[in-house]
Chains A and B, each alone.
Chain A
Amino acid sequence: MQEKIALTGNEAMALAMKQINPDVVAAYPITPATEIVQIFSDYVSNGLVKTEFVTVESEHSAMSATLGASASGVRAMTATSSQGLAFMWEVLYIAASYQLPIVMPVVNRALSGPINIHGDHSDTMGARDSGWLQIYSENTQEAYDNLIQAVRIAEHPDVLLPTMVMMDGFIISHAMENLEILSDQDVQKFVGEFKHHRPALLDLDNPITVGPLALYDYYMEFKRQQAEAMRTCKPVILQVAQEYAELTGRKYGLYEGYKLDDADLAIVVLSSTAGTAKVVVDELREQGVKAGLLKLRVFRPFPYEELAQALSGRKAIAVLDRADGFSAFGGALFNEIRSAMYDVKDRPLIVDYIFGLGGRDVNLDHIRKVYADLAEIAKTGQAAQLVSYLGVRE
């Protein structure tokens, strides 16, 4: 049974964590993710979860303690944002290389400087090659659903990779929206008991070594194996989504196509902006414009084959990047989408818009402008600018 309820994104994430009921949470507060662990610590104090809650002195320690707990053979979680994620950096890579199924909500926020507390994707885009799975959420419902599914995905024996679940800072984290929630029992049943798929640090009868030295004689084999886990986890993500759909009626995939199948003009975007773009797609469809949208849910692993298939046949594509790559060649999403499209026959023109940095509002008019640009590109067969900025004062 599901209950209809109104919650902010942070409240929804905290509730999902309560229902997952992890063994250990080690966390350090940072705007706009603070509320997640603050609310969760109330659950701990009130005895509503069995979790050992560890207050640490920094995000570096939060991830280190979470890593240690996970290696000891229990379900461990934390949550962070922006500078906090940046401060976790070196430990992120270690968690991934140890193949520890840590699940972490990340509330997307701009990186300093200048100091900014609002939502953009520069924090998690920087961590895109750390070996973590990355799942992005459009709204509070998806944030809740994705976090619960992430536990099953991360802990699957074919995956065993840490997973971060994103939502946009303030836009979702602090916005109250309607969502449907599962009962505690249903979530517990769905995520199941934490299973040991290999020896753990605290198994005294079977001592192991974790974190060994591996130089040029072995390092590459470990990395190749780690890469394989990332390459092979797509079926698990889809299987978990299938089971979740059976439980909730809500369907998830690697991406969501919105009026995409017959679209001439398509926008590719992550997270909350997809909702705003859908409104414009509907508007344009009423005017007879074949507009469509691809909202990428799973950015890591990057589903390049599926994306190439879904985007082939479009006439013009705009990728919207909520983080600049500072590469002089657009954002990360743009680069990867373009690469994925390289082998498509009669590939469409693809342009990039950097938008929404530091929480800069992207409204219906901005999206309308992008589709208008795409219509022009489709008509003329050329793009005036490959990479441009949306909503910046010129």
Chain B
Amino acid sequence: MAKLLEIRWHGRGGQGAKTAAQLLAEAASSVGKYIQGFPEYGPERMGAPVLAFTRISDEPIRVHCHVTEPQYVVVLDPSLLLRGDVTAGVPEDGIILINTDRSPTEMRKAMRLTGRKVFTVNASRIAEETIGRPIPNTPLMGALIKVTGLMALGDLLADTEQRLAKKFADRPQIVEGNLNAVRRAYEEVQGE
């Protein structure tokens, strides 16, 4: 693993970019990694473009500046691709994971993208079918660990279950739905 891994999440207010950034950080923390998970705060509201970040490292993380050159980018809403800034700072060998029903090849063409590796998964549909709402954040976590090898599926599932069980103590079906979403996205994510 890179000395310091940085992930940028592009979403719209309400899609759970911040939650995903922090859930992934917590999951990595649970397997002994050092982490940071933080959103970019502005006058955001439901639907507005938002950013969130995850840092993961084997050593204590000391930097407290913005993430400008993320190795991995996760796009929660494909309509954000039109804004053209999702690839900003991403190195040639970086990974771009997009929530869409289209293939990586189609997306690369649509984005006129050179270099980098593109992966796609229909996280919104998976979320709709497993959780009952099109909130793509948890399935994207499953897809991300598959394409990056960040952590084992079992570890992510165990930690996510523990976190969500606290939050949704009275609604176990939501917890189970999210875990299924993570599993399905892990299986269904496509590369080029």
**Residues of A participating in the B interface, judged by any CB pair closer than 8 Å:** 4-6, 8, 32, 117-118, 138-139, 168, 170-172, 174-178, 272-273, 275-276, 278-279, 361-364
Contacts of A176 in B (CB 8 A): 22, 25-26, 35-38
Q: Are A6 and B64 in contact, with the CB atoms below 8 A? A: no
Contact across chains for B63 and A6 when beta carbons are under 8 A apart: no
Partner of A278, one of B37, B39, B62: B62
Chain B contact surface mostly: mixed
B10-52 contacts to A (CB < 8 Å): 22, 25-26, 29-30, 34-39, 41
B65 interface contact, C-beta 8 A: yes
A225 to B181, CA, bound (A): 65
**A271 closest partner in B (C-beta):** B64
Across the interface, do A272 and B64 meet the contact criterion of CB distance under 8 Å? yes
- Chain A residues positioned under 8 Å from B25 (CB to CB): 6, 176
B148 contacts chain A at the CB level, 8 A cutoff: no
- Bound Cα distance A6, B61 (Å): 13
A346 to B171 CA separation, bound complex (whole angstroms): 69
CB neighbours of B68 from chain A (8 A):
363
A139 touches B38 (CB 8 A): no
Interface residue from B34, B39, B60, B65 paired with A361 (Cβ < 8 Å): B65
**Interface centre among B29, B39, B62, B68, by most A CB within 10 Å?**
B62
- In the complex, the chain B residue whose C-beta lies closest to that of A168 is B64
**Complex contacts, B35 vs chain A, CB 8 Å:** 6, 176-178
Q: How far is the CB of B148 from chain A (nearest CB, A)?
A: 19
B66→A279 contact, CB < 8 A:
no
Near A by CB (< 8 A), chain B positions 60-81 give: 60-66, 68
**Out of B29, B39, B60, B66, which one reaches A6, CB within 8 Å?**
B29
Indicate if the CB atoms of B29 and A275 lie closer than 8 Å. Answer: no
Residues of B whose CB lies within 8 Å of any CB of A are 22, 25-26, 29-30, 34-39, 41, 60-66, 68
Given the contacts A6-B26, A176-B22, A362 and B37 also touching, CB distance less than 8 Å: no
State whether B41 touches A273 (Cβ < 8 A): no
Contact B41 A276 (CB under 8 A): no
Residues of chain B contacted by A138 (CB below 8 angstroms): 64
Please give 20 more A-B residue pairs, beta carbons under 8 A apart, in addition to A171-B38, A176-B35: A5-B29, A117-B41, A138-B64, A170-B41, A172-B64, A174-B41, A175-B36, A175-B37, A175-B64, A176-B22, A176-B26, A178-B34, A178-B35, A178-B60, A272-B64, A275-B64, A362-B65, A363-B66, A363-B68, A364-B63
B contact residues around A278 at 8 Å (CB):
62
Across the two chains, which residue of chain A brings its CB closest to B22?
A: A176
| B residues in contact with A362, CB < 8 Å | 65
Q: Which residues of B contact A32 (CB under 8 A)?
A: 41
B63 & A177 in contact (Cβ 8 Å cutoff) = no
Report the Cα distance A168→B65, complex, angstroms: 12
Instruction: Check if B26 sits within 8 Å of A361, measured CB to CB.
Output: no
Residue in A172, A178, A364 whose CB lies within 8 Å of B29: A178
Q: Which residue of B lies closest to A32 (CB)?
A: B41
Given contacts A6-B25, A176-B22, contact A364 B64 (CB under 8 A): no
Minimum-distance CB pairs A-B, first 10: A175-B38, A275-B62, A272-B64, A176-B37, A6-B29, A363-B65, A361-B66, A6-B26, A176-B22, A275-B64
Q: Are A364 and B37 in contact, with the CB atoms below 8 A?
A: no
Q: Indicate if the CB atoms of A118 and B36 lie closer than 8 Å.
A: no
The interface residues of chain B lying within 8 Å CB-to-CB of A139 are 62, 64
Enumerate chain B residues within 8 angstroms of A172, measured Cβ to Cβ.
64
In the complex, are the beta carbons of A273 and B29 less than 8 A apart? no
Q: Are A273 and B38 in contact (CB under 8 A)?
A: no
- In the complex, 23 of the A-B residue pairs with CB atoms within 8 angstroms, ordered by the A residue number, are A4-B29, A6-B25, A6-B26, A6-B30, A118-B41, A170-B38, A174-B38, A174-B41, A175-B37, A175-B38, A176-B22, A176-B36, A176-B38, A177-B61, A178-B29, A178-B34, A178-B35, A178-B60, A275-B62, A275-B63, A278-B62, A279-B62, A279-B63
**Closest A residue, CB atoms, query B27:** A6
> How long is the Cα–Cα vector from A232 to B166 in the complex, in angstroms?
46
Instruction: List the B residue with the shortest CB-CB distance to A5.
Output: B29
The CA-CA distance from A4 to B26 in the complex, in Å, is: 11
C-alpha spacing A168/B38, complex, angstroms: 13
Q: What's the least CB distance linking B145 to chain A, in Å? A: 17
